Each structure stands twice: as C-alpha cells, then as structure tokens.
A and B are shown apart, each in its own frame.
Chain A
Amino acid sequence: MLPVLELRGIRKRFGQVEALAGVDFTLNQGEIHALLGENGAGKSTLMKVAFGLVEPDAGGVAIGGTAIRLGDPAAARRLGVGMVHQHFTSIPAFTVAENVALTAGWRLRPRQALERVRRLGKDTGLLIDPTLLVSDLSAGLKQRLEVLKALAADARILLLDEPTSVLSPPDAEALLRGVQEFRARGVATVLITHKLREAVAIADRVTVLRRGRVVHTGPVRDETAERLAGYMLGEPMSGEPPRRPSAGPSTGEVRVRAEGLAVERLGGSGTGLRSASLSVRSGEVVGVAAVEGNGQRELLRAIAGLTRPASGRLEAARPSGFIPEDRSTEALIGEFTLTENLVLSQGSSAPWIRGPWVDWERAERRTADLIESFAVRASGPGAPAASLSGGNQQRMVIAATLERRPAVLVAENPTRGLDFRAAGEVMDRLRAAATDGVAVVVHLSDLDELLAVADRIVVLADGVLLDVPPDASRDEIGRRMLGATAG
C-alpha cells in the first residue's frame, strides 16, 4: 500500500493542554481510515495539522511522499487535500454554486459554475440545487455542500471531520455511500467520527486517539464496536445502547395536545410542518424521528411557543423549557458569563429579580450551585460560556432549562456534537426530567440514541406526523422516515 499522507511525531500544545503528544498517522491510497476518539482526544487538531490549518510544535507532514511546509493550507490544497470541517465554512450570502466556485478556485462564470455543480452533484450523489442561497439551506444540505466543495477542488485526499454528526440516518448513510464510491475512484479518506457503527461499517483501517496519543491502529475487519469503544475510553464498555422497554401507555395528565397542526417552514429549506396530531403526557418522553428538514424544527418550536402555528390547534402547558440545537448561536451568549447566561434564561420570574432589579450576587450563588450539581467543568460562575467545552456548555444549558421547572421540555437534537459519554448524560437528564413529571419532546438525529431515550416514537416524514406501533423495529421506523422523501 502506498502512503499518500504521513504525519510523524506530531506534537501540539495549547496553553496548559497537550492536544497531541507525538502522534504518527498514515493514510494509504484508496482507503477509508476511521479516526476515533472522545471529544478532546485530538482528532480534529491532528487533521488540521495535516491540512496546514494548525502549525504543530514538532513533527512533519508528507503528502504523496513530499514533505510539505507546515501551517500552509494552500500547499496542502495544491497537493489534492480537501477538508470538511465540523463547523460549516460556507458564505451564507452566496449561492451554492458561488461557494463551490470560490473554494475550488474556478473562474466565476455563473452559468458554467451552475452546470458544473449540477454535474458534480450527479456524479457524486450529493444532489443540491446550485442556485439556492446557503443561508436558506438546512444543516443536512449545508454539510452536503461542504463535502461537495472539498471534492470540487479535485481532492485525492479527503479529511472529513464528523461529517454525519448533524445528519439524519438516511442522509448519513447517503454520505457514507458517497465516501465508499470515492474510494472506488482512488480517493483516500480520513473519517473522524464518534459513531463506532460507521467506522466498523465502512472503514478499512482505524486509528484511535486518547488524550493526544495513538492507543490503537490497525485493520477494521478484526474489530468490534465494543473493542473500539474500549480503546477510546480506556475501559471496556457494554454493547450498544439498549432500546427502552415499553412501559405501556403513560397515564399522566396531557400537557401537549396538537390537532392538525401546521407551521410554516422556518429558514429556507425543508417542508415545514404540514399536519401533526399528537399528545404528550406528564412523565413520558416522546421521540420525534425525522430526516433533516421534515418539519421537526417547526413542530418543536411551535410546542415551545417560539413560533406561531399557521393552522390547527395547539395547547401546550407552560412554562416550557427549550434546548435549541445550536448551542453557540441560540442557547448561550459566548462572551457572557455563566451567571449572565442563567439570568438571561430565567427571565423576570427568577428569585433574584426584584421589580426591575437584578440581585447579581444571588444569581451568582445559584449559578455556582448549578455548576456543582450538574458537574459543569468551569472555572466558576464568572467564566465566559465560550470558554467551556461543548459537553459542559450543554450541561449548563440543561441546568438553566430545568431551573424554570418546566411543565414541558422540548429538546432539539441536544446530543449534537457530543461524544457518547456526554450524549448519554444528556439522555439521562431527559429521562430524569420525565421521571419528575415533565412532558418531554425530543428530536435526535441519531436514531439509536432516540430509541434508547424515548418511551414512544413518532415519525415526521415530509411534514406529516405518523404514529409508530410500539413494537416497530428500527428498520421499520427508518423506512417510515424515508417513506415520503424517497420519491
């Protein structure tokens, strides 16, 4: 096997943290190489070193046998390396075609660019309307665009940083199929992922990082998901998340009742919510399974009282708590302290509000309590929210949401971007809230996680809500999710 990308002895330190402590990594021609590790294990940093975005403190990078100048993304790109980042990097005010043309360095002839993007979409199976503005795309389509951009620059080496973390199962599968097709054409791919199933399913080789060191590297065919999880955590883990046993129909009081609910689409893509009839009782977790852009955003936000229904009936108990999908733009103000974020989220009925006044000391004491009881790793209530890791930010968001003692808790993909330990904790919190009598409505893009947390599953397909029999299998639910979108 011919190595196309070699990293040797890579070291990188960020302040006190040693992100990479001497890592060797080899990517061979035409292989899919899964790069696994917990949040903060150094996966993204390692790939940013390979792409020239991060300059290592020590070590060397060779592409196609030639040593390259470190910290120079242009050089890496010239040698055929394309990277898809965890965060979207497209320009919202540009169209899809313009974004692709910009990244690929095409001369901007609008009509030709449109045609080329259309052809590229057909070739790669990454279909996307090139005339759409990026700001109007759903998360799934934005991710598709990111991959398309990397491929449009004639990449022979593709670095994918958790490309499926925001995708629904069918979108994720489509993307992974695409990656396998690229392999058939000789493209070598590094797939950074949390999802062991993905790694086992499509990768040829796997490398596992833990705390900036390689703890395992080798062919995938000898591995099981449990063994890989063991490498990642440094301890054996029990198998896949179990399906919740059905506890029979819930008997709590009805907290949410929707009949023939329709909501205009939020943002530029997707179908909106066309028709949903649903009731959610105190003490149960209802899981909304849906492919990106099938109306779940609209349903959840209507229940949370953030958007007005276009038609139909909706009764939802108040107060409601809402955990938005995007932590950094909606759930938290990054430059505000944790105390300030808590005060913001609790509004005017909080105990530290007296008339128009805020008793900051009292709010700070409460923040310190929550930091402790939710095990948030932060330097204190005065830490800016942006200084926390994703998992700790989510702990704080959940703490703030539950602080209002909501009758209804609505969570929009709350495990997005979290490693499975942090994701498991989020799901435990949702369960605990239900045990306390809260009516919980949750959408998770990961169907396995959703099955593990929900008492009851409903499916949204093409904006229409379908009930699912309690004994429906995972595949059956998946088929229903796809039902109307396949056509």
Chain B
Amino acid sequence: MSRAGIIRLWLPALAVGAGILTLMLGLAAGGYDPLLALAALWRGALGSPDAILSALLPRAIPLIIIGLGIGLAFRAGALNIGAEGQFYAGAIAATWVGVSLSAWPRLVAVPVVLAASLAAGLLWASVPVLLRLRFGVLEVISTLLLNFVAEALVSWMVQGPLQESKHIYPQSDPLPLAARLPQLPGTRLHLGLVVALGLAGLLWVFGTRTLLGFQLRATGANPLAARVMGGVNTRRVFGLALAVSGALAGLAGGCEVSGTSFALFQSLSPGYGFTAIAVALLARLNPLATIGTGLLFAALEAGSSAMQREAQVPAVVVSVVEAVIIIAVLLADSAQRRRLLAEAGT
C-alpha cells in the first residue's frame, strides 16, 4: 500500500488521539485529574453493557442517520448546515402524527410516523433547494438560518397546538405505545439502529454501484464537466441530494421521538444536527465509515455526562475534543491536497 494510503487509513485514529491528548492537557492545566476524567469518560461510554446499550447506541442512531444525509449532500456539493432544523421538522411531524394514532396497530403506526418525519424533513430542506435553484441563494446560509426557524417552531408547537393535554408543561403528550419504535427490553436501545445500519448499507451501494450515485459524486467534484461531458442535469442532482439529506435528518428526528424521548420538547436534540457534520466529515463522507464515526462521537457525548458526574469536568469540554478531531482531519486533507498538487505541477 502507498504511503498516502496508509496515512488515510490511520488518520481517523491519529485525529482522535490528538483530540484526547488535547483534552488531557487542557484538563491538567485546568487543575482537574485527567486520568480520573478519562476513566469516567470510558465508563460512561463503554464501561458496562448498560452504558453501551442505553447511553452510547441510542445517541449513535441520530448521529449516523443525519451524518449519512449530510455526507450525501456534501458529495453532491450541497453544503447542508441545516440538519438540526430538518431534525426538528421531522420530530414535529412524528409527534403530530404519533399522538393521534393510538388506535392503530403498531406495525402500521410506526412506519406512518417515520414516513411523516421523512416527508417533513424533505419539505423543510426543499425551501433551501428552491431558494438556491430559483434565486441563487446559497444553501449554506438558508439551511443555517432555517435552523432558528425550526427551533422557534418547536417552541411554539409545545406551547400551542402540540402542548400536552393539561396545558402546563412546554412539551407534547407522550406518544401512544402503538407509535413507539420497539426497544430492546430493559434498555433504551430501539429499532432505529437497524434503520441506521440499513441506510448506511443502502447509501454505500447507491454511491458505489449506481449511475445516479456516481453522477452525484461527479456533480460535487466538477459540475461543469458533469454537465458538459456527462450530460448530467447537475441542478436536479444537487437539489435531489439536498432534499434527501433533509429527509434523512427528518427521519432521525422521527426515530428520536418514536424511539427515545416519546415526546416533543424544546431541547430534544443536544445539537445532533451539528455534531453530525463532524461525523460525516471524519468519515470522509463514506456511508460505511459514518457508522464508525457516529459511534465515536456518540461515545464522546455519552462519556461526557459521566465525566461531569464523576470528575466534575463540564461536559462541554468534549466539544473541544470534537473540534480538535475535525481540525486535524481538515489539516491532513489540505496537506495531502498540496502534495498532490505539487506532484501534478511537474
């Protein structure tokens, strides 16, 4: 294997190592016991079957599903920064449909709930698609701003149309059993994991084996060549990728409501839509690798609450680790690109 190939293979591990090292140095400098904190992080994420099944995996499900969608959009050159909003759009739709389906059989109700969340995410992302294709508004900006709109919408929903029956708390009624994703008994792990893994496989096949998946990659790599040489309708491919990535984020919101929270409330997502950008980037937009990076970031998030509990380290420091990992990957990428350019420049 070439040197570049080896670096590619080990890069994620090196990046994670750099992140952990930075965390420990920071903790030591801040007067915490880094080893104690690290041990707590480990216990919270992977220390027991319960940690894995009820803390790590349930957090990995939305990260993987959203990360897959973001990877798809980025491959087509569509910078979807609005997954958080699309997640909430899906969560609202899932709640709305879910609370009214108590009389339905579970086998029908759950798919209907998930389909509603998928459609809502798609619809939410169609706005930036239209803005971009009709008026040239950059999707980076429109998707980002729609996050705020979605959060405001949730806030209004849980105090208005979707507020629980007693009208006291700012949250929805709990979903009836019929609308809930089945859980592994005694844990918080739900069937959304199968959905996430299935989607990863599906998208991998789509990207590597189908013409449309290939044309999507070509559109992201060089839209001009894709249009001139390949006759690809790059606008349509771009719009499709962005809309589908919104649909997946919406589906993640539906899975969260139907499998974990069973209700809608304001801080339903601890920033899944943003963390998933890191998940997709660290996976280099590869669907199968997204499973691994989704698990990694879920472990960091799960461990951070244990760290706060046991070592009194504020949970936010984990976002420092996440940031260092991303920066390390981006640096390595640009170094590699520079080397390629230098070689091509002969």
Contact = CB atoms under 8 A, between A and B. Distances in A.
Interface of A: 14-15, 17, 19, 45, 306, 322, 324, 329-336, 340-341, 343-345, 347-348, 353, 356-358, 360, 386-387, 400
Interface string B197-233: 0000000000001111011001001101111111110
Contact of B228 (A15, A17, A324, A357): A324
Interface in B319-346: 340, 343-344, 346
23 contacts: A14-B346, A324-B229, A329-B222, A329-B224, A333-B221, A333-B222, A333-B225, A334-B222, A334-B344, A335-B221, A340-B214, A344-B218, A344-B229, A344-B230, A344-B232, A345-B229, A347-B231, A357-B210, A358-B209, A358-B211, A386-B340, A386-B344, A387-B344
B225 A330 contact: yes
The 7 A-B pairs of least Cβ separation, nearest first, read A14-B346, A344-B230, A333-B222, A330-B228, A345-B229, A356-B210, A333-B225
A14 B340 CA distance: 13
B211 A356 contact: yes
B207 to A, nearest CB: 11
A15 B225 contact: no
B224 A330 contact: yes
Contacts of B232: 344
Contacts of A331: 225, 228-229
A27 to B, nearest CB: 24
B214 A344 contact: yes
A45 B345 CA distance: 10
Contacts of A400: 229
Contacts of A387: 344
Interface residues of B, number: 22
Dominant secondary structure at the B interface? helix
A343 B229 contact: no
A332 B221 CA distance: 10
A331 B218 CA distance: 12
B329 to A, nearest CB: 18
A386 B346 CA distance: 11
A86 to B, nearest CB: 12
Query: Chain A CB within 10 Å — which of B215, B229, B340 has the most?
Result: B229
Contacts of A329: 222, 224-225
Interface of B: 209-212, 214-215, 218, 221-222, 224-232, 340, 343-344, 346
Contacts of B221: 333, 335-336
A343 B230 CA distance: 8
Given A14-B346, A344-B230, A358-B210, 20 more contacts: A306-B227, A330-B229, A333-B218, A334-B222, A334-B344, A336-B221, A341-B229, A343-B214, A344-B214, A344-B225, A344-B226, A345-B230, A347-B230, A356-B212, A357-B210, A358-B209, A358-B211, A358-B214, A387-B344, A400-B229
B261 to A, nearest CB: 37
Nearest to A330: B228
Contact of A344 (B210, B212, B215, B346): B215
A84 B227 CA distance: 31
A343 B212 CA distance: 11
B225 A353 contact: no
Contacts of B343: 14-15
A428 to B, nearest CB: 22
B232 to A, nearest CB: 8
A330 B224 CA distance: 6
Contacts of B229: 322, 324, 330-332, 341, 344-345, 400
Contacts of B225: 329-333, 344
A360 B218 CA distance: 15
A336 B218 contact: yes
Nearest to B212: A356
Nearest to B205: A357
Contacts of A17: 346
A400 B231 CA distance: 13
A348 B233 CA distance: 13
A332 B225 CA distance: 6
Nearest to B210: A356
B227 to A, nearest CB: 8
A137 B170 CA distance: 59
A436 B346 CA distance: 37
Nearest to A17: B346
Contacts of B210: 356-358
Contacts of A45: 346
Nearest to B231: A347
A387 B340 CA distance: 9
Nearest to B221: A333
A411 to B, nearest CB: 13
Contacts of A353: 211
Query: Chain B CB within 10 Å — which of A306, A332, A347, A387 has the most?
Result: A347
A330 B230 CA distance: 10
A19 B346 contact: yes
Contacts of A14: 343, 346
Contacts of A360: 209
A400 B230 CA distance: 11
A322 B346 contact: no
Nearest to B342: A14
Nearest to A53: B345
A39 B230 CA distance: 29
